Amino acid sequence: MRHKDEAKQDAIIRATVKLVNEIGFVSSSVSKIAREANVSPATLYIYYENKEDLLVSTYIDIKRRMSEAALEGFDDGLPIRDIIKRLWFNLFRFIADNPGDFQYTEQFGNSPYSSLVDQSEVEKHFAPLVEIARRGIERKIIKDVPLEFLQIFIFYPIFVLANPRLCAGFEGDEQSVETAFDMAWDAIKL
């Protein structure tokens, strides 16, 4: 069995994101992705079973890195608002700094490939956020609504504001991001 090289695997993921964002899922063949990653198609198959596995794995990898960024400096001993604010700012920064990755996740989430994802594989990375929301509800700090509502009202503004394709005029300076967070917080707090 051949040894897996993390640098090659990362190159394959980067190539997948780049090509899917440029030419779409259908046109991004294994051979084109391998060529862009500067590896042979046979090498790609060391890491992934097929194209679908590569696309799903790329999505899960981005979501994992997104959760790691969001949870940077996580301290569940802080007040709920402060925890969510840190998560919010971290996630905003990740999306603003990685627009290609975010674009890939958006496209993937709206594609038939999304049905191939084991949602528990993605959700496990965000479990601390769910726990904080539940704690906020129990302590009557956050509105007692379905978690999906909370996700939409607290995180969707990030997805729009950090995305230059959707909000080209938004200046991502500290004060603007702070104001946007305050508005999102007002939407979910009791």
* Domain extent listing, the chain: 1-48, 65-188
Cα of 158 vs its chain's centroid, Å: 11
Query: What pLDDT does residue 6 have?
Result: 87
- Percentage of the chain beyond pLDDT 70 is 98
Residue 44 CA to residue 166 CA, distance in Å, equals 34
pLDDT (0 to 100) of residue 172: 80
Q: pLDDT value at position 183?
A: 95
More confident residue, 3 or 20: 20
Query: Would you call 179 helix, strand, or coil by DSSP?
Result: helix
Report how far residue 69's alpha carbon sits from residue 63's, in angstroms, rounded to the nearest whole number: 10
Q: Give the torsion sign (CA, 42, 44, 47, 49).
A: negative
pTM, 2 dp: 0.90
pLDDT at 1: 47
Residue 140, CB-side half-sphere exposure with 13 Å CA sphere: 0
Percentage of residues of the chain with pLDDT beyond 90: 81
pLDDT tens digits for range 166-184: 888 887 888 989 999 999 9
Query: Tens digit of pLDDT for each residue in 27-41?
Result: 999 999 999 999 999
Task: Name the H helices within the chain.
Answer: 6-27, 30-37, 41-47, 51-70, 80-97, 99-109, 119-123, 127-138, 147-161, 174-188
Q: How far apart are alpha carbons 80 and 128 in whole angstroms?
A: 12
Residues 157, 183 contacting (CB under 8 angstroms): yes
Mean pLDDT of 126-140: 94
> pLDDT band at residue 15, thresholds of 50, 70 and 90?
very high
Quick one: pLDDT at residue 3?
60
Task: For residue 188, give both structure tokens.
Answer: 């979910």
Q: What is the dihedral of CA 94, 97, 98, 99, to 10 degrees?
A: 110
Residues 89 and 190: beta-carbon distance below 8 Å: no
Task: Look at the domain 65-188 and name its fold.
Answer: Tetracycline Repressor; domain 2 (1.10.357)
CA distance 121 to 58: 13
**pLDDT for res 171:** 78
What is the residue whose two structure tokens read 């305050």? 182
pLDDT of 2 > 70? The answer is no
Residue 72 has pLDDT above 60, yes or no: yes
pLDDT at 71: 95
Query: What CATH number is given for 1-48 in this structure?
Result: 1.10.10.60
The DSSP-derived string for 42-67 is: HHHHHH-SSHHHHHHHHHHHHHHHHH
